[in-house]
Amino acid sequence: MAKFYITTPLYYVNASPHIGHAYTTVIADCTARWRRLKGEEVFFLTGSDEHGEKIKKAAESSGKEVKVFVDEIVKNFENLWQRLNISYDRFIRTTDSYHQAAVKKVIKTLAEKGDIYKANYQAYHCIPCESFWTPTQLAGKELCPDCGRGVSQIDEENYFFKLSKYESWLKDYLKNNPDSIMPKTRYNEVIGFLENNQLEDLCISRPKLRVSWGIDFPLDDKYVVYVWFDALINYISGAGFASDEKKFKKFWPADIHFMAKDILRYHAVFWPIMLKALDLELPRMVFAHGWWKFEGEKMSKSRGNIVNPLEVTDQFGVDALRYFLLREIPVGLDGNFFYKPLISRINSDLANDLGNLLYRVLNMSEKYFQGKVISGTACFWPPVFEPFLKNGQLFKSYQEYMDSCQFSVALEKLWVFIGVMNKYIEEQKPWVLFKENRLDELEHFLWSLLEGIRIVAWLIFPVMPQTSEAILRQLGRELKAESPNWSKGDFSIKKEAPLFPRIDLDQYVD
């Protein structure tokens, strides 16, 4: 059985999660569910990044002890993931002892290799980004080049990792592996960065006198580990490095690291070099999606423009939010979160196209055949279905888009088939068939639609798991016994309440 290892970033637990965090995690969950559906053995890792000044400051301003504070915020993340049906296999916390042991092992190994040394460190620190900058990078301004906020100056002795030693290796590696960073624009960005900048060695320690909240630096007890160096190691520690050799052997390297473009450089420059220095294989792909903005700016706690995913799911439902996030914007681009487009998607795609199709067909099945619709011998598809079903075309193209993380395109194409089914009902006028007592034709007509809906239900499972199961249940089927291709089999209808009631747009103003 093929394995597939998927990760999300470890989210900072200085504040509760928002739509941006939900987005990456829903993408990762959709991929995990998709791969499992295809029979692969998936390991899906998510978790929390809990060390460093940013978190310590947030705890201080809440008046709580740091561990108590992070425990509370971690609960909010776990609750949200449960609410959004996130099927992760492990939730890693950087405060977990197995992770801390792995970080120490990494540093000791790199030191034995001669890749770590001590020197003076002068830099500017952006606390919200936990990023560090040289005077040259700031170009005369004391503002973070990533987020534009103020930075503070640092001048101290620290430990460094020899990043620069691996610069030419990384360039060669990336040139030979153009698919290792996706989408393509992000790959080009990293290549451009490497061409225009010389890599400086990475400062990987912080003196305890200044930053006390971190993993003890194993080479010197006056220091803790730099939070980013600590956090990146989760991708191996979470898969068993330094704790479960068998698991690690099975799942490493990661098949896909998901994140947004803001933290691409850490994953596309620092991380591969760390792995190379450790003699470990590199992840197959780093996928950096765009940002969800609200009121024109990247959503973030410090900007105060966040949308709370729990409120959205309470109002509109979990699957509606999952569908909207995956369908609304092509995965590499930025998007604006507004209620109007969300409600339009719910009303048109979910309530009208999918919901109505299902209920019209279920109603007719009950009305004309008391809910029992059999395939009989004539289970050929109607001519209008041909382009989708011949040679498993619908499944094949859906698979291609899902495998390449083009979720919005996969769904767009699937909805074309749903549209064709709706049109087929209009054109066939089943009520006439009934009136003229052409019951064989009517049953085959309904059976074909039920079979088409069954295929749709299978395909949407990674995107809307509850909806997929609800549809199959009403068809008298169960996901695990089903296939995504046209096949014989009877239906035994058990109609339930509509999946997506229409929402009154006028109630919501953007």
Residues that bind ligand MSP (CB under 6 A): 9-12, 20-21, 23-24, 49, 231-232, 234, 259-260, 262-263, 291-292, 298-299
Closer to ligand MSP by Cβ: residue 5 or 385 = 5
Report, in Å, the least distance between residue 299 CB and ligand MSP: 4
Report, in Å, the least distance between residue 188 CB and ligand MSP: 19
Three-state SS at 218:
coil
Closer to ligand MSP by Cβ: residue 23 or 81 = 23
Closer to ligand MSP by Cβ: residue 325 or 449 = 325
Q: Which helix (H) or strand (E) holds 168?
A: helix 167-176
Report, in Å, the least distance between residue 412 CB and ligand MSP: 21
Three-state SS at 395:
helix
314, 357 Cβ separation under 8 angstroms: no
Report, in Å, the least distance between residue 234 CB and ligand MSP: 6
Distances (CA, A) of 116 to 52, 165, 201: 21, 11, 9
With the C-alpha atoms ordered 310, 312, 318, 323, is the resulting torsion angle positive or negative? negative
* Other beta carbons less than 10 A from residue 63's beta carbon: 7
Q: Are strands 297-298 and 292-294 parallel, antiparallel or unpaired?
A: antiparallel
Closer to ligand MSP by Cβ: residue 44 or 458 = 44
Which residue has its beta carbon closest to ligand MSP? 20
158, 207 Cβ separation under 8 angstroms: yes
Report, in Å, the least distance between residue 400 CB and ligand MSP: 24
Closer to ligand MSP by Cβ: residue 259 or 464 = 259
Report, in Å, the least distance between residue 466 CB and ligand MSP: 24
Closer to ligand MSP by Cβ: residue 263 or 493 = 263
Q: Which amino acid is at 353?
A: D
Q: How far apart are CA 191 and CA 253, in angstroms?
A: 22
Report, in Å, the least distance between residue 171 CB and ligand MSP: 23
What residues pair up with 257 in beta bridges, in sequence order? Answer: 7, 286
26, 326 Cβ separation under 8 angstroms: yes
Closer to ligand MSP by Cβ: residue 262 or 490 = 262
Report, in Å, the least distance between residue 20 CB and ligand MSP: 2
Helix segments in 40-154, DSSP class H = 53-62, 66-83, 97-112, 135-138
Report, in Å, the least distance between residue 367 CB and ligand MSP: 46
Give the residue among 332, 302, 14, 325 at the shortest CA–CA distance from 149: 302
393 Cβ partners below 8 Å, 6+ apart? Answer: 387
Report, in Å, the least distance between residue 155 CB and ligand MSP: 25
Closer to ligand MSP by Cβ: residue 11 or 324 = 11
Q: How far apart are CA 498 and CA 380, in angstroms?
A: 29
* Strands lying side by side in the sheet with 297-298: 297-298, 292-294, 335-336
Three-state SS at 423:
helix
Closer to ligand MSP by Cβ: residue 25 or 365 = 25
Closer to ligand MSP by Cβ: residue 9 or 317 = 9
Report, in Å, the least distance between residue 473 CB and ligand MSP: 33
- Sole residue written with tokens 């042991």: 101
Closer to ligand MSP by Cβ: residue 225 or 231 = 231
- Residue 279 is encoded by which pair of tokens? 């003699």
Backbone phi and psi for residue 140, each to the nearest 5 degrees, phi listed first: 85, -10
What residues pair up with 158 in beta bridges, in sequence order? Answer: 119
